[in-house]
Amino acid sequence: MGRLVEHPILDVKSSTSKTHVVFYFEGQPICALPSDTIASALIANGIDIFGFTEHNHARGFFCAIGKCSSCLVEVDGIPNVRSCITPVRDGINVRRQEGRGKPKW
Amino acid sequence: MVDNQAGGKRHVDAIVIGAGPAGLCGAIAIAESIGDGTKVLVVDEGIEPGGQLPKQTHKFFGHEGFYASVRGFEIGKRLVDKARELGINFLMQTTLAGIYEDSIVAYDRNSNSVSEYTADYILIATGASERFLLFKNNTLPGVYGAGAVQTLMNQYKVMPGKSFLIIGAGNIGLIVAYQLLQAGAKVKAIVEATSKIGGYMVHANKIMRLGIPILLNHTIISALGEDRVEGAIIAQVDGKFKPIPGTEKEIAVDTICLAVGLQPSVELVAQTGAEIKYISELGGYVPVRDENMKTTVNNVYVAGDLSGIEEASTAMIEGYIAGYNIAQKITGKDMSEKITNMKNELVEFRKGPFAAKVREGLKKMGISFPGGGYREEIQQMPSSLSRLKAVIECPQAIPCNPCETSCPTGAINTGGNINGVPQVDYEKCTGCGICVTKCPGLAIFLVQQREEHSIVGIPYEFLPVPEKGSSVKLLDKNGKYVADGQIDRVMINRKEKTHIAFLKVPKGMEGVVRHFEMSTVSEESQAYICRCEEVSRNDVEKLIDSGITDYEEIRRVLRIGMGPCGGKTCRSVVLQIISEKTGVPISESRLGAFRPPVIPLPIDAIVRYAKGVGTDE
Amino acid sequence: MSEVKGAYNVCIIGGGITGTALAYSLCNLGETSVAVFEKSYLSSGSTGRCGGGIRQQWSTKNNVRLAMRSVELFEHFKEDVGTDIEYYQGGYLMLSYDEEEAKQFEKNVEIQREEGLDVEILTPKQVSERYPYINTEDLVLATFCQKDGHANPHKAVIGYAQAARRMGARIYTHTEVLGIDVQNGKVVGVDTNQGYFKCDAVVNASGPWSKQVSQLVGVDLPTESYRHQIFVTEPLENFFPMMAISFAGNFYMRQAQHGQFIMGQGDKDEKPGINYNVTFKFEKELTVKMVKLFPFLRNLRIMRHWSGMYNMSPDAQPIIGQSNIVNNYFYAVGYSGHGFMVAPAVTEALAELIVLGKTTHTDISYLNVDRFANAEVEKEKNVV
């Protein structure tokens, strides 16, 4: 698990880019590339459990294109965010979603 | 285009949904023909246009006219460049959320905003989505779709695991296995429930010679692990795909990759009111359309995998056919010559055995394509090759001819038909190796018998590139060790990135050695149907047993398809179970509704749009 | 006429809440020679598309009584019928943003209290103390009845259908009624795409298609169907127990047991006729309005959007009874958007009328179609 540092076909220079975005996952700082989604940044950092269902089953990445409900996380208190298609932004607070989201008002 | 105003709809001549090969070619055809790309709008969900192309690192099959021998991501770039030159507008990271009675609504997730459109013509090229598979713990983190793994690995350059089990030996399973190996991951095995490899043999050979087992008549029983995948249990299956007790085997892997086929994404085309029909040969539910790609709704056209699961070349051709037809209607000009040319291309591409299913499926729509008429004999390797010559191991009739067209001496031919099995004229072959670097199936080798040993040149797309003189273990076509050998030299190809590694092999082994291993390389029924609501196969079966057999009734009782995913993975699985249990073929069961929006649409975005406040941030 | 496939004492046309609940009620009274004909799947018409609210806060005495009897039956649904239908008495909060309407609400509450219903009148301040997530700006007053609530309409239909099947009724899905055989002023059979069925009585419970089905008997019913749209959001944890509704504000919303918010509004420009399409205009109008009143909705997404039919009667109240032209023809139609919530009491009474010739639990004579023959009708005011 982690970023590709070399590849026989693809250009992977971006993986070693010096420009970083820092956000928080469960309070811990996570270093991401500007091109990352929340999911790609988490997996690149070795995190693949994104939350737990109502029945306490772990869930994570699955379809990568926002079509399933597997990778839902809470971002700045807003639940049901599809981490696989949501770009990272500096300073956001991402948390594992447990069951259905909590309302914010 | 006019600025986004509150409640204001933008009008375009043609809206193209999906920026994959079909959509891009369709948009290009329209824009070229009407001479104004700004009247064509392409909408796509991806981070970059190209559909599946940007995720593909392998070279594509076909002929030069449709970018054969060019790697998928490069094809994507070329089509997009062409479209942009024509002035075509792209809305990326944008989902067409619904084709409503009064509007076509797009949701841009990047700016978190919605917008409305009207169009004279709609070309829907939404492609396909991956099928899901039922086994215990199939929702554990570490069980990923093949497309998802490709996205992560080849677009984001992030590896989701170290060792993989791949489910499904169709082209996607075979390709993703090869791509994982290229990226440095381990692939423990590919399991395939049927008794034969579904994908091209040349794709299978690429990974078999690396020693990756393809276990036919096998299935996955269970993913192992508490909170993430730590392994898998596989077992042999009988003729009815039921696991044979006692054949279970545990495999330690950290990632399970599902490549069990595709199904057309018909949600949007269904919302237009176009007729949808179940044609299993085309991948399931498909829009009914004519040979001009027009659906039963007059201004709605389709192309690509949406109209039947096939491959990129035919998707492009269908895109052109649809595009020229739309252009003909917009301009009133006669485009029949271009349309006929494309239709003839399609006839050629669909003659071979791999298109048999598509031909069958299209026949059910009243569209017929001829099969056959190509060479099938396989040329034997000559017994004596004192000079370096090309040996082609391409045993199936597939529509592909870069070997023929790239040969500078005209030594290779496919027998007058693109589907024909290629043959080498050894009088003319100079052993230059151009065909080796062009062949999308990496199925051409160079062979020479020398005095003391033989030379085998192997297409090589891995890292590290071996050094001249280093000693290697020689592997046969199944990846089995056969002898020790040495790297004679390496022909580096920086442009194509398919290098040729020349191996010194013992005499008589030139027909056996097909790969090598560098000595330095280290040695290495609670299944959920619905992941949103955690509904198991058992839940569905119990309900069917109680007499509730209609998909819509089951859906409402169990909430299958009513979770946040909108039923994208579970619908076909449930229909399959209903069919199995009731004996009514899927083609006769009822499809159920496809309700908008296709992607959950943020209320906030609609509100801001309705009030004219514009985008987020 | 097609092949005779069977004979039943009672043939019911329509497999929604009325058809299935009536089959169940008939079986309960010992009449088990019952068939239900549904042209699509169970609850495919109006029931499976509705909001699922169950309330007793009505503006006329008769309607309050009918609703109270229904609530009594819903409260015992699980024991009586044998299915959990997610019935939840989280209350109905009726919000008034109009001085005129607020006065009417106070009058309604008097009528409701006379019938023994426990209803509160809340000031905007009380509303915002109780429900901090509601924006009470412009609110004049609200009324609240804890015993109102909601349930899952589809599960109710399936529950009734399965219970009726167990007691001997036959339910034919994907069976469309093509003709009704009337001879000498009496229905003698029903012709369907699956064959002909003899019968002694026929019941029109066809919801949106009530008028057309009635024409097969040769009886005119003054109903028209109007499209109503509805959408549902992604789920959140349950925190919103009640149905919130406003007539002047033109909306209703509840949180389903699975956490999603379901909401809808009426459209006065809607033309009569069957139309199951949906419009984006609806999403725009409703989201703008609802986000102002319920700001937390801003962070949710719309999951699915669909439409259903209100089978409207001239006075917005159901048309239930026995025809005096073809006297073994019964009808339970024209619910005007609130058929689900009154179906248990209506079908109980209708079954009594069919089997016993008179009603014993609830009087439904005021709902007979004959009322439209008289010049003055009392229109129900509490409808979205």
**Structural domain containing residue A24:** 19-98
Q: Cα dihedral angle (C245, C249, C250, C254), rounded to 10 degrees?
A: -30
Nearest CB among B152, B183, B228 relative to A7 is that of B183
* A10 located within any domain: no
Mean pLDDT of B205-209: 96
Q: Which residues contact B228 (CB under 8 A, 6 or more apart)?
A: A48, A49, A58, A60, B140, B141, B142, B254
Given a cut of 60, is residue B3 above it in pLDDT? no
State the residue for tokens 């439409």. Answer: C307
Q: Do B367 and B377 contact (CB within 8 A), yes or no?
A: no
In this prediction, residue B522 has a pLDDT band, given cuts at 50, 70 and 90, of very low
> Chain A within 8 Å of B369 (Cβ-Cβ)?
no
Given a cut of 70, is residue B449 above it in pLDDT? yes
* B400 located within any domain: yes
In this prediction, residue A19 has a pLDDT band, given cuts at 50, 70 and 90, of confident
Let me know if B54 is exposed, middle or buried by CB neighbors in 10 A (0-12, 13-18, 19+). buried
Has domain C88-149+224-312 been given CATH number 1.20.140.10? no
- CB within 8 Å: B601 and C283: yes
Mean pLDDT over all residues of chain B?
92
Where along chain C do the CATH 3.30.9.10 domains lie?
88-149+224-312
* B497 located within any domain: yes
The DSSP symbol for A78 reads E
Q: What percent of chain A has pLDDT over 90?
A: 70
Where along chain C do the CATH 3.50.50.60 domains lie?
4-49+154-223+315-373
- How many contiguous H segments (helices) and E segments (strands) does chain A have? 1, 8
ipTM at complex level: 0.93
Given a cut of 80, is residue B4 above it in pLDDT? no
Establish how many alpha carbons lie within 13 A of residue A70's alpha carbon, considering only the half-sphere containing its beta carbon: 30
**Token representation of residue B111:** 């700016």
B589 or B476, higher pLDDT? B476
CATH of domain C4-49+154-223+315-373: 3.50.50.60
Mean pLDDT of B167-190: 96
The DSSP symbol for B471 reads E
* A68 located within any domain: yes
Distances from the Cα of C38 to the Cαs of B174, B556, C15, in angstroms? 48, 17, 5
Given a cut of 50, is residue B54 above it in pLDDT? yes
Whole-prediction pTM? 0.83
Q: Which of C296, C292, C307, C229 is nearest to C261 (CA)?
A: C296
* B134 located within any domain: no
* B376 located within any domain: no
Residues B331 and B401 in one domain: no
- CB within 8 Å: C280 and B116: yes
Residue to test with chain A: of B112, B158, B254, B465, most A Cβ within 10 A: B158
Q: Do B96 and B113 contact (CB within 8 A), yes or no?
A: no
State the residue for tokens 């919000």. Answer: C95
Residues B113 and B155 in one domain: no
**Structural domain containing residue B329:** 9-129+264-363
Q: Looking at chain B, which subunits does it touch, using at least 3 CB pairs closer than 8 Å as the criterion?
A: A, C
Q: Which residues contact C268 (CB under 8 A, 6 or more apart)?
A: none
β-partners of residue B565 are: none
Q: How many domains does chain A have?
A: 1
Given a cut of 50, is residue B104 above it in pLDDT? yes
Parts of chain C with a pLDDT under 50? none
* A41 located within any domain: yes
* B13 located within any domain: yes
C170-172 and C149-150 strand pairing: unpaired
**Token representation of residue B32:** 């070229």
Coil, strand, or helix at residue A102?
A: coil
* B379 located within any domain: no
- CB within 8 Å: A100 and C133: no
Note the residue count of chain A: 105
Rounded to an integer, what distance in angstroms lies between the CA atom of residue B188 and that of residue B210? Answer: 11
- CB within 8 Å: B145 and A40: no
> Chain B within 8 Å of C281 (Cβ-Cβ)?
yes
What pLDDT is recorded for position B531?
79
Given a cut of 80, is residue B524 above it in pLDDT? no
State the residue for tokens 């409701």. Answer: C112
- CB within 8 Å: C133 and A103: yes
Let me know if B241 is exposed, middle or buried by CB neighbors in 10 A (0-12, 13-18, 19+). exposed
Distances from the Cα of B458 to the Cαs of A8, B201, B495, in angstroms? 16, 17, 17
- At CA B194, angle to CA B189 and CA B196, rounded to 5? 80
In this prediction, residue B617 has a pLDDT band, given cuts at 50, 70 and 90, of very low
Burial B582-591 (b: 16+ CB within 10 A, else e): eeeebeebbb
Residues B15 and B121 in one domain: yes
Residue B260 neighbours by CB distance under 10 Å: 18
Let me know if A30 is exposed, middle or buried by CB neighbors in 10 A (0-12, 13-18, 19+). buried
- CB within 8 Å: B550 and C173: yes
- At CA B216, angle to CA B541 and CA B440, rounded to 5? 115
Residue ranges of chain A whose CB lies within 8 Å of a chain C CB: 78-80, 99-105
B113-124 and B300-302 strand pairing: parallel
Cβ neighbours of B109 in A, within 8 Å:
66, 85-86
What pLDDT is recorded for position B320?
98
In this prediction, residue B450 has a pLDDT band, given cuts at 50, 70 and 90, of very high
The DSSP symbol for B234 reads E
In this prediction, residue B42 has a pLDDT band, given cuts at 50, 70 and 90, of very high
State the residue for tokens 């449930």. Answer: B574
Q: Cα dihedral angle (B317, B322, B325, B331), rounded to 10 degrees?
A: -110
State the residue for tokens 């209350």. Answer: C91
One DSSP character per residue, B261-301 reads: -EEE--HHHHHTT--EEEEGGGTEEEE-B-TT-BBSSTTEE
Q: B380-385 long-range CB contacts below 8 Å, 24 or more apart?
A: B381/B447, B381/B511, B382/B426, B384/B449, B385/B426, B385/B447, B385/B448, B385/B449, B385/B510
Amino acid at B423: Q
φ, ψ for residue C249, nearest 5 deg: -75, -15
Q: How many domains does chain B have?
A: 4
**Token representation of residue C238:** 């349950």
Amino acid at C234: E
* B2 located within any domain: no
One DSSP character per residue, B303-348 reads: -GGGGSS--HHHHHHHHHHHHHHHHHHHH----HHHHHHHHHHHHH
Least confident among A60-74, B529-543, B558-572: B558-572
Coil, strand, or helix at residue A98?
A: strand
Residues B241 and B159 in one domain: yes
Cβ neighbours of A36 in B, within 8 Å:
156
CATH number for B213: 3.50.50.60
Mean pLDDT of B49-57: 94
CATH number for B537: 1.10.10
- CB within 8 Å: A105 and C132: yes
φ, ψ for residue C69, nearest 5 deg: -65, -40
pLDDT (tens digit per residue) in A80-92: 999 998 999 999 9
B261: left (phi over 0), alpha (psi -120 to 50) or beta: left
Rounded to an integer, what distance in angstroms lies between the CA atom of residue A28 and that of residue A50? Answer: 14
State the residue for tokens 């230059």. Answer: B432
CA distance to partner chain A, nearest, from residue C286 (Å):
19
CA distance to partner chain A, nearest, from residue C261 (Å):
12
Note the residue count of chain B: 617
Taking a contact as any Cβ pair under 8 Å apart, which residues of chain B between 74 and 113 contact chain C? 98, 100-103, 105
Given a cut of 80, is residue B519 above it in pLDDT? no
> Chain B within 8 Å of A18 (Cβ-Cβ)?
no
B262-264 and B255-258 strand pairing: unpaired
- CB within 8 Å: B531 and A70: yes
- CB within 8 Å: A62 and B534: no
Q: What percent of chain B has pLDDT over 70?
A: 97
Q: With residue B563 as reference, give the H or E element that holds it.
A: none
pLDDT (tens digit per residue) in B241-279: 999 999 999 999 999 999 999 999 999 999 999 999 999
Estimate to the nearest angstrom the gap between the alpha carbon of B197 and the chain centroid: 16
Rounded to an integer, what distance in angstroms lies between the CA atom of residue B27 and that of residue C162? Answer: 52
Coil, strand, or helix at residue B343?
A: helix
Q: Do B124 and B209 contact (CB within 8 A), yes or no?
A: no
pLDDT (tens digit per residue) in B299-315: 999 999 999 999 999 99
Distances from the Cα of B597 to the Cαs of C213, C301, C304, in angstroms? 33, 10, 6
Residue B450 neighbours by CB distance under 10 Å: 13
* B52 located within any domain: yes
